[in-house]
Every structure is written in structure tokens, then in C-alpha cells.
Structure 1
Amino acid sequence: MIDATPIVRLSGLRLDRGSRTILDGIDLEVPRGSVVAVLGPSGCGKSTLLSALTGELEPAAGSVEVLGAPLPRGKRALLERRKSIGVLLQGNGLLTDLTAAENVALPLRAHTRLPDPVIRRLVEMKLHAVGLRAAADLYPRELSGGMARRVALARALALDPPLMLYDEPLTGLDPIASGVIMSLIARLNASLGLTSIIVSHHVHETLPVADRALVIANGRIAFSGTPQQLQASDDPLIRQFLDGEPDGPIPFDTAARAMEAA
């Protein structure tokens, strides 16, 4: 159920990488319980936006509020806040010498003092939630791409964060695995009462699970509305992105995009 109280609020946000401004004038409110798709071409600043939400990148201007308060600047306070933010990394980030269960247990062992039997039970629950309880003793090299992504999702959920950030969750997955992941994200968001922000350039796979869609292009939010409004838009910039046209308001500049930490 969507709550009007924002879990994320960005005001007048400007984000720089070195001397280059990546995003500017970003205003955004994300209601609790919603699934928000942040779309845009590669190198437009989507992952930079996530870096601001986790406190990895400090704003050059403006403010970032997450979970009802500004992100703290101190390392210890920021680490404490991050426990309430789950992040599914683009490359999974699984440790290859640990089993699936051991990977999921990492946040619990690092951030809690729970006894081993409790941790093992929680790990079983998280793996069961993503449909991989039977894969607990498998190593990452023994998992398919879709299975590895689901293990990484179980690990991101280990501390029961109310806010989930997904950085290109479909990268490297085939259409079937992509459908499984997106369906799982939607189901977990509803059943666990999460709020999810999905950064992606996979428009057609992401929009069906989203309550709201943003398109980032040319350093700004070019569109904000429902998925239906996005698909009906006749804005040339939006149509270029949705239809995959090489020529239009969004320049294809590989040199500039290479500078973006995607």
C-alpha cells in the first residue's frame, strides 16, 4: 500500500563528478510503498543518483533526505542509516569463495550480534523468499545468472531494509530470467511493505511493475509520471528514448558517457 509520506525527498539537487556536473535541479519525492522506475540512456546519471541516495556521493548543491531525515555526513551515522537501505548491485557482488547461504549471512554477521542458529534461520527465510532455499550450499560459480541475481537480492534483504535500490537489475540476464527478477521485485515490494527504486534502461521489462516512472536525460528529469503517461508521451526526447532512435534531443556522445560512473 502506497503511503503519501515520502521515504525519499530530493530538493534542488546537483551532483558533480570532479569538475563535471552530472545532474542538476533534481526535485523528487518517493512515496512509501511505491515502486519507482528511474529510466534513461546509459551514462545519463542514473547510477550517480543512487550514489547520492546511499551517501556515497555528497551533493554539490541541494539536499537529500532518506527515511525522513537528511543523510548524515559522519561515517558512523551514515553506516547506521545504510542498514535501512538495501542495494542490489549491477554485478551482484557475491563473494566467490562463499556459498549462497554464507553470502546472504554476511550483513547479518557484520551488523548484528545474533547467535548462529538465528542467523541460519534468517538466511533460510531470505533464500526461501527468492525461491532458492535449495541452493543454499551452492557457490556462485554453480549458479545461473538469474540465480546469482536472486541470491544477491536475498543478501540485500537480509537486514529487512524498508528501502530497496536496484542498480540495473536485469543486466546480463535472458528474457525469462529478467521476467522472474522483475516479478520477484514487485512481489517482495508488496508482501514486505518495501519501497523500491529501480534504475534501468530496460523500459519494457520495468514499466509493468512500476507505480511511477522518471526519465533522466541531459542532466535533468525529463519526465515524471505514471507508466501509462510515459508511454503516451509525444515529447520528442521521450519518444527518442522509448523508440530507440539514434538521432534526436538526446546526443549519442560516447566520450561524455564514459566519464559517468555507470
Structure 2
Amino acid sequence: MPASNANAVVLDGVRLDRGGRVILRDVDLRVARGSITAVLGPSGTGKSTLLAALTGELAPVAGQVQVFGQPVPRSARALLEMRKGIGVLLQGNGLLTDLTAAENVALPLRTHARLPEPVLQRLVAMKLNAVGLRDVAGLYPRELSGGMARRVALARALALDPPLMLYDEPLTGLDPIASGVITSLIRRLSRSLGLTSIIVSHHVRETLPIADQAVVVANGGIVFDGTPAQLEASEDPLLRQFLRGEPDGPIPFEGNPRAGASTPVEAA
């Protein structure tokens, strides 16, 4: 397969700013089609900013972002069309509280697809069944547990059958059992549907086992890009600090850069 078709996501020399401040710089990244990539790093280092560049919410100051071989467009109409192929699971679920679980899942279908009502309802039931929640179709978000609400949000993100799924801290606020259910679902759905999945998380131990690629973001850029096994085996002080959760080291607390911080490393 040609290199241009082998990657679902390509970032070349990307710089991302927010509020006049450089968040990420010199970002080069390749995400293979059909893979699961874990984007890890401490809070506030720019992981979610990276996702914003993929959806077109944030345009790069420098460099180029491509999704499935096409540059992320700038015009509103082209962006809307591109986003139909990207499913996003938000950290806070984003469920509408006055709609039932089924109505939440149906929302993107009603917005973007002209389907007969029986077909739409059948699709909604299929999506809820895919996340193990067909029986909660008539319940409202307030009647669901945190893990169930996250799964309904996942079903909604999958409603339009997007080839690319973006997960922004999908395990935040969940207990260990619910976290295990979500990671298992991400892995199963990614494999069975042939999705490309990018998971932004600081939950290392839960996310790495399902990932094909591990990326670590810290100190304004990508400091590691390789396999989970290579990350686990690395002796780089910055990576060891992150993996072990040590408060002192090359990664400063609260995002204040420190003189002498470790330079970026990349696995072979």
C-alpha cells in the first residue's frame, strides 16, 4: 500500500497556538489506517489541542494536517463534510439531557442523513446494541450511570459509521470496572469495524494494552512515538517520570518549562 494511503492521519511540522501562546511545535506524526493510537501525557500538555487540529477546530499556525490524504479544510462547508467521517467521544459525554438515549444516538442521523423513520430506528437500535445498551433506549441521561452514559455517547459518535474515531479522555470519572468496559469496547469496535482510533488519555495502564502505537506529549511537543512495548522499555528520564508518576523530573508540574529538560526522543 502506498505511504499516502497507509496513513489515516499525517501531521508535518505542525505548530498549534492558543491565545497567542505556543502549545505544540514541530509536530510530526503518522497514524496508520486501522490502528489504535494512544496519545499520552500529563494534563495540560496539549493532547486535546492535537485533537482540535484533526477536527479543524484549531488551524495550525505552521505545517499541515491531513486526514485520509486530504488537508483539513478551512471553509465551514468543507469542514462540515469532513467531520461526517470523524466520530468524537467527548470527555463530558455531551449528551442532551432532555433527550432519551435513543434520541441522542439518532441526533446525528437526523441531522446528516435523510432516512425513513423505520430505518433510522433500526440503526439506532443497532448502535446501542453494539455498546451493550439496547435495553436503555428509553432512559434519559440522568437515569444512566457514568459508564452507561459514556457508552451511549460512544454509540452516538458511531452513528454515521465514521472511519476515524477520536476519544478525548474517555476514562475520566469512571470506576475501574467501567473503565475496563470502555477500553474493551474501543478495542472490539475498532477491530471489528476497521476503524482508526486515536485515544487521548493520561490513564497509561488502562490505555496502553489496547494500543498499537504510543505517543507521548510533553514540554511543547511529541517526546516519544513508538510501540507500547518500546515505551515501557525506555530508560529516558522524562518517559520514566511519566510512566512512574513521579512529581520531580524533566516534566514540570503545572506546565512550567524547566531549564535542562530532556530533548525529544523517538523509538526506532
Q: Structure 1 length normalisation: TM-score? A: 0.95
Q: Is the 8 A contact 2:44 2:254 kept in 1?
A: no
Is residue 11–residue 66 contact of structure 2 (8 Å, CA) maintained in 1?
Answer: yes
Q: Which residue of 1 aligns with 2:155?
A: 154
Match of 1:12 in 2: 13
After superposition, the C-alpha distances for 1:122-180 in whole angstroms (9 at most, x for unaligned) are: 00000000000001001000100000000000000000000000000000000000000
Q: Could you list the per-position Cα deviations for residues 191-248 of structure 1 after superposition, in whole angstroms to 9, with x for gaps in the alignment?
A: 0110000000000000000001000000111111110110111100000100011000
How many Å separate the matches in 1 of 2:241 and 2:31? 26
- Please give the alpha-carbon distance, in whole angstroms, between the structure 1 residues aligned to 2:104 and 2:20: 37
Listed as ranges, the gaps of 5+ residues in structure 1 are 257-262
Superposition deviation, residue 18 in structure 1: 1.9
Aligned to 2:59: 58
Structure-2 residue corresponding to 1:207: 208
- Counterpart in 2 of 1:198? 199
SS at match of 2:94: coil
Counterpart position of 2:130: 129
CA distance, structure 1, for counterparts of residue 69 and residue 107 of structure 2: 27
Residue aligning to 2:77 = 76
What is the CA–CA distance in structure 2 between the aligned matches of 1:255 and 1:154, rounded to whole Å? 38
Mapped to 1, the partners of 2:141 and 2:65 lie a distance apart of 35
Segments of structure 2 that go 5 or more residues without pairing to the other structure are: 258-268
Q: By how many angstroms is 1:19 displaced?
A: 1.4
TM-score (norm: length of structure 2): 0.93
The separation in 1 between residues aligned to 2:101 and 2:201, in whole angstroms, is 25
Aligned amino acid, residue 36 of structure 1 = T
The Cα RMSD (Å) is 1.2
**Change in 2 beyond 3 A, CA 1:36/1:254:** closer
The CA deviation at 1:255 is 7.7
- Residue 117 of structure 1 corresponds to which residue in structure 2? 118
Q: What is the aligned partner in structure 2 of residue 145 from structure 1?
A: 146
Amino acid at match of 2:240: R
Letter in 1 for 2:33: R
Cα distance in structure 2, aligned partners of 1:119 and 1:232: 48
* Structure 1 Cα separation of the partners of residues 254 and 192 of structure 2: 41
Q: Distance in 1 between matches of 2:134 and 2:166?
A: 23
Shift of 1:254: 6.2
Identical residues among aligned pairs (%)? 76
CA change 1:167–1:219 in 2 (3 A) is: same
Q: Tell me the residue number matched to 1:67.
A: 68
State the distance in 2 between where 1:239 and 1:6 align. 29
Mapped to 2, the partners of 1:61 and 1:135 lie a distance apart of 46
Runs of 4+ in 1 over 2 A off after TM superposition: 253-256
Aligned position for 1:259: none
Q: Which residue of 2 aligns with 1:165?
A: 166
Measure, in 2, the Cα distance between the counterparts of 1:102 and 1:254: 40
Aligned equivalents of 2:141, 2:14: Cα separation in 1? 38
What count of residue pairs does the alignment treat as equivalent? Answer: 254
Matched to 2:236, the amino acid is: D
Pairwise mapping of residues 26-41 of structure 1 onto structure 2 (< 5 A)?
Answer: 26-41=27-42
Alpha-carbon deviation of 1:253?
2.4
In the alignment, the residues of structure 2 paired with residue 214 and residue 38 of structure 1 have an alpha-carbon distance, to the nearest angstrom, of 5
